[in-house]
Amino acid sequence: MTGPHRAAVLGSPIAHSLSPVLHRAAYTALGLDGWSYDRFETDEAALPGFVEGLDSSWAGLSLTMPLKRAVIPLLDEISETASSVEAVNTVVLTADGRRVGDNTDIPGMIAALRERGVEKTESAAVLGAGATASSALAALSEICTGTVTAYVRSRERGDQMRGWGERLGVDVRIADWAEAEQALRAPLVIATTPAGATDALTGSVPKAPGTLFDVLYEPWPTGLAAAWAARGGAVVGGLDLLVHQAVLQVEQMTGRTPAPLAAMRQAGEQALAAR
């Protein structure tokens, strides 16, 4: 591809985002000299103006919180995957000016788990009930053959997760956060909580744990991930998710496949080590 091509990640706060590191590493590895990828602090109020101001040099956008739902009314089309959780983290700007939304978090989760040998699971536990938890349920709808137990802090959150389960075709059981140590006995545990939220569970990791997918990448390892690994359990981290979803974004925005997974992961690891 010739000529300038622009892409960026939008969100608030955004200064911590590793997306520029990953995408730029991909452009370098693919020899896309005319491509640039930036970050812009953008909240829900500023988003419509930003999107309307994009010219033909723009190839795509990555979206993080709080924009994954706010962007939907601004798009011409969204994928079934994005529609299933009402969340868009990827916008591709087509040559004819259309804005197409997708969600690469869900297939990114599945790919990250598959990379660690998790193709199917008989049951699973989800810690938390935010936007990432709904994406986790969508991923589990494809790989979990039994019940998913969601550990939440309020009845309202429980109702939300139960609703997502019904929509996604997942058998969801709701449990109180006070029982969260029980979650660690599941063959697959997906932690979608903020930093520090699972620290109190580190002493409850079983002697022979299954697989932990902790979606945080900074700070890393989390206390729970470190305790899990010390017990010999398999750990999938937030950087794994970030890289796999970014691989899909690069492929959609540039039209080049496959995206350079190894180069992108190495760039992310180096950037985190330097912080």
Phi, psi of 200 (to 5 degrees): -70, -10
Strand order in the sheet with 211-214: 172-176, 148-152, 124-127, 188-191, 211-214, 234-236
Phi, psi of 81 (to 5 degrees): -60, -45
68 is catalytic: yes
Among the listed residues 6, 23, 24, 68, the single catalytic one is: 68
Which residues are catalytic, by number? 68
